Amino acid sequence: MEASGIDVVLLRQNADLFYFTGTVQDAHLLIPSKGQAHYLVWRSYDRALQESPLAPLGLIQPLKGLSHFAEIVRSLHLDEAAVVGLEMDVLPAGLFLFYKETLWPKAEIKDISPHVRKLRSIKDDGELKCISGAAQRVHKVLERVPEFFYTGMTELELAALVECELRKMGHCGLLRMRIWNQEMGMDQVVSGKSALSPSWTNTPVGGVGPHPAFGMGASFKKIGMSEVVSVDIGGWYCGYCCDITRPFFVGQPSSKVVEVFDIVKELMGELERRLVPGAITGEIYQYATDFMAKAGYGENFMGVGQQRVSFIGHGLGIELDEFPFISRGNKMTLESGMVVALEPKVMLPEYGVVGLEDTYLITRDGGKRLTIGEQRLGRLEI
């Protein structure tokens, strides 16, 4: 904070609050450059006392509302701050105007989000344990996909069985995303041509979805013979997520699908070795796109046409879209302790999506895979 010249930071977003307080409440976390932090909780103060490690330190106070918050800030003389750090990428405009006009009309406002996201990108042992816990639970479910499958079932019916098992093991039922207006359920179960259907999400795979109100992911389409079923699951355990995708072929896999899968798997191995501290994420992305272009599938890599995305990996933890992003032109460098998901995927109009995704820890020896299970093309029997 002092290096950035910020006098006080105010955090409001759920993921950031969970990271710093150990609980998600409707609250304000004030962090001055000098002195102690103040966790001001509207709902639920009682749960914050029970759940947050800040409670024994006496840093939690009840909050009656925004007017009360303003009173507390003034009583602490924090309204005198010359530079205030706010989460400018996620803070609603109405709240920003309230804070700016009511408390800090003359202060310089700086975006604290890049600093918070950079800090959160390095995982400690406790966080890695949670991500590994998510991976263990997802593995158990993925192993049962062939058992769940039956002739004539829809994408939604298969997704429901997958989600039911995840929920039984403690999945919260959603995945947090930071980017505005992006929404994500627990999984994407898509098959055949419907997997190539575009959606509003910044993902390589869209899907038809159950309704235009949520036009992505699993739909009422029946899973057909000789189709690829892509099962992309966002695992969750104790607040942290993992990300994994495995493809399944209905019937005997075609030579085309096997060929493409082998290429994707080879690329995944090459990318794993490049997940080392100091590697530039944009260069890893460029290597992947060049690799697929040489293999003859550049135009179908990570989407088709305007639906193609400009990344092949992303950080994750409390949120599904954390730093770093392995994306076109990105100058960010990898560091030990970062966790990323790699997801090379090729779109085949006649079969569906052939791809893999796994979650990795950045180490000096390359990516250490945290998700579990063989990287293979599974089979579903009719």
Residue 236: the pLDDT is 99
Tell me: do 89 and 149 sit in the same domain: no
Tell me: do 76 and 169 sit in the same domain: no
Q: 136, 143 in Cβ contact below 8 A?
A: no
For residue 12, which phi and psi values (nearest 5 degrees)?
-130, -25
Tell me: do 232 and 300 sit in the same domain: yes
The model's pLDDT over 3-55, given as tens digits with 9 standing for 90+, comes to: 779 999 999 999 999 999 999 999 999 999 999 999 999 999 999 999 999 99
331: domain CATH number? 3.90.230.10
Tell me: do 236 and 374 sit in the same domain: yes
Tell me: do 90 and 174 sit in the same domain: no
Tell me: do 276 and 247 sit in the same domain: yes
Residue at which a domain ends, from 119, 154, 188 = 119
Residue at which a domain ends, from 119, 143, 166 = 119
Tell me: do 114 and 170 sit in the same domain: no
Residue 4: the pLDDT is 79
Residue 3: the pLDDT is 72
Task: Tell me whether residue 258 is in a domain.
Answer: yes
Tell me: do 158 and 32 sit in the same domain: no
How many folded domains does the chain comprise?
2
Q: 273, 366 in Cβ contact below 8 A?
A: yes
Q: CA-to-CA distance for 156 and 147, rounded, in angstroms?
A: 16
Residue 260: the pLDDT is 98
Q: CA-to-CA distance for 222 and 192, rounded, in angstroms?
A: 10
Residue 177: the pLDDT is 97
CA distance between the termini of the chain: 60
Task: Tell me whether residue 360 is in a domain.
Answer: yes
Residue 323: the pLDDT is 98
Q: CA-to-CA distance for 250 and 222, rounded, in angstroms?
A: 12
**Nearest alpha carbon to residue 285 among 342, 240, 208:** 342
Residue at which a domain ends, from 119, 153, 175 = 119
**In the chain, which residues have pLDDT < 70?**
1-2
Task: Tell me whether residue 2 is in a domain.
Answer: no
Domain that holds residue 252: 122-380
Residue 1: the pLDDT is 67
Structure-block tokens of residue 369: 């895979």
Task: Tell me whether residue 166 is in a domain.
Answer: yes
Task: Tell me whether residue 315 is in a domain.
Answer: yes
The model's pLDDT over 148-169, given as tens digits with 9 standing for 90+, comes to: 999 999 999 999 999 999 999 9
Tell me: do 200 and 225 sit in the same domain: yes
Q: 373, 143 in Cβ contact below 8 A?
A: yes
List residues bridging with 361 in a β-sheet. Answer: 339, 368
Q: 222, 193 in Cβ contact below 8 A?
A: no
Task: Tell me whether residue 58 is in a domain.
Answer: yes
Task: Tell me whether residue 1 is in a domain.
Answer: no
Q: CA-to-CA distance for 82 and 8, rounded, in angstroms?
A: 9
The model's pLDDT over 109-132, given as tens digits with 9 standing for 90+, comes to: 999 999 999 999 999 999 999 999
Residue 305: the pLDDT is 83
Tell me: do 88 and 131 sit in the same domain: no
Tell me: do 148 and 295 sit in the same domain: yes
Task: Tell me whether residue 3 is in a domain.
Answer: no
32: domain CATH number? 3.40.350.10
Tell me: do 134 and 112 sit in the same domain: no
